[in-house]
């Protein structure tokens, strides 16, 4: 009778998204730094639903609790308000290291903090990985290629970055973060994975990040004229990215891998200083070695993102007088 009651209770009080059951041997303890951000919260959803034990560490600089609130209270989930610039002592098997502001207005807001997060923060997470024997995946960026002089960019290209320009705190911060990963790999035997991520869009992205997809959608929803452009950029949808990150983490590829969409292009308006004029990624490595390819059509991704933006605008309108 008690058992029936418990089953009924868990059935009716189920307030979480469905979670797979994983046996002890397949279940991993996973840390996601920056897990309350745009990409991190989608990664949290995937790994939670796959049945793993998650610790999300975030200082809520650009992320927010709302992105992961649907997991709060779940026995496999823990959210820690912590800045990765400070040491962190926990026990985990894998670390997805995403903590870093990602869009130009965010990372240029406090360049010194951006540098600290990407350098000291990454050092701390590598120190943690070394101590507990965890594998670490760094969310790096296509910005390590800077304003490229070769097209398309494959992973062997060393990049063309202005070390003292306004974007240097991010670009050089990520370049040092990559350097640190390989120093820890060579010197300390830490297992590392490096994903060079290209522009991504989807729900929970920042509406005012000033980038092309969010600008277009906001302009369209608010009935403003759409700005048209000179340059090409490639965007891909967050669910494709998250699948790519998990595949890479669990692969045996320790060298950097470009993760991006190959087909959809969006024209881009940009006059910001040091903005790369042209970028065309080469994703043959991810295709060949991970068997990974983006599958979400641009139109479907855009539709989902537009729906999210409409809901957010409505939410903001309803809450502005509270």
Residue 44 contact, options ligand UDP, ligand NAD, none, Cβ 5-8 Å cut-off depending on partner type? none
Q: Which two tokens stand for residue 202?
A: 């989807």
Q: Which two tokens stand for residue 287?
A: 């295709």
Judged by CB under 6 A, the residue of 48, 54, 98, 242 near ligand NAD is: 98
Task: Specify the residue, 190 or 248, whose C-beta has the smaller distance to ligand UDP.
Answer: 190
Residue 89 contact, options ligand UDP, ligand NAD, none, Cβ 5-8 Å cut-off depending on partner type? ligand UDP
CA 70 to chain centre: 19
Query: CB of 41: closest distance to ligand NAD in angstroms?
Result: 8
Of the ranges 30-38, 160-168, 217-225, 277-285, which one interacts with ligand NAD (CB under 6 A)? 30-38
Q: Which helix (H) or strand (E) holds 4?
A: helix 2-12
Q: Integer distance in angstroms from the first to the last C-alpha of the chain?
A: 47
Task: Specify the residue, 49 or 185, whose C-beta has the smaller distance to ligand UDP.
Answer: 185
The SS3 call for residue 11 is helix
Task: Specify the residue, 96 or 233, whose C-beta has the smaller distance to ligand UDP.
Answer: 96
CB contact at 8 A, 290 and 244: yes
d(CA 304, CA 42): 14
* Look-up of token digits 């303890």: 29
Judged by CB under 6 A, the residue of 47, 84, 123, 260 near ligand NAD is: 84
Cβ-count burial of 140 within 10 angstroms (0-12 exposed, 13-18 middle, 19+ buried)?
buried
Query: CB of 7: closest distance to ligand NAD in angstroms?
Result: 37
Task: Specify the residue, 113 or 167, whose C-beta has the smaller distance to ligand UDP.
Answer: 113
Strand-pair category, 231-234 with 265-268: antiparallel
Residue 213 contact, options ligand UDP, ligand NAD, none, Cβ 5-8 Å cut-off depending on partner type? none
Residues that bind ligand NAD (CB under 6 A): 33-34, 36-40, 58-63, 83-85, 98-102, 106, 117, 121, 139, 141, 197, 199-200
């Amino acid at each position: 009778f008690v058992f029936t009651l418990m089953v009924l209770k868990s059935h009716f009080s189920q307030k979480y998204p469905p979670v797979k059951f994983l046996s002890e041997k397949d279940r991993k303890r996973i840390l996601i730094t920056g897990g309350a951000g745009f990409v991190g919260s989608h990664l949290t959803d995937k790994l939670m639903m796959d049945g793993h034990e998650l610790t999300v560490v975030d200082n809520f600089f650009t992320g927010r609790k709302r992105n992961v609130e649907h997991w709060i209270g779940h026995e496999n989930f823990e959210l820690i308000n912590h800045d990765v610039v400070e040491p962190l002592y926990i026990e985990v098997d894998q670390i997805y290291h995403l903590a870093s502001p990602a869009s130009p207005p965010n990372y240029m807001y406090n360049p010194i903090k951006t540098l600290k997060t990407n350098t000291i923060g990454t050092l701390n997470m590598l120190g943690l990985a070394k101590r507990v024997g965890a594998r670490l995946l760094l969310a790096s960026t296509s910005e390590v290629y800077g304003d490229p002089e070769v097209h398309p960019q494959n992973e062997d290209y060393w990049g063309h970055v202005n070390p003292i320009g306004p974007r240097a705190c991010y670009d050089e911060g990520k370049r040092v973060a990559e350097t640190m990963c390989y120093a820890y790999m060579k010197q300390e035997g830490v297992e590392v994975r490096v994903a060079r991520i290209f522009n991504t869009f989807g729900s929970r992205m920042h509406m005012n990040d000033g980038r092309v997809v969010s600008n277009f959608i906001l302009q369209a929803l608010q009935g403003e004229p759409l700005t048209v452009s000179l340059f090409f950029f490639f965007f891909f949808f967050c669910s494709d990215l998250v699948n790519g990150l998990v595949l890479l983490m669990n692969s045996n590829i320790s060298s950097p891998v470009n993760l991006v969409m190959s087909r959809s292009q969006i024209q881009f308006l940009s006059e910001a200083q040091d903005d790369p004029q042209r970028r065309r990624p080469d994703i043959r490595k991810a295709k060949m070695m991970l068997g990974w390819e983006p599958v979400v059509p641009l139109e479907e991704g855009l539709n989902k993102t537009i729906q999210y933006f409409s809901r957010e605008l409505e939410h903001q309108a309803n809450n502005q007088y509270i």
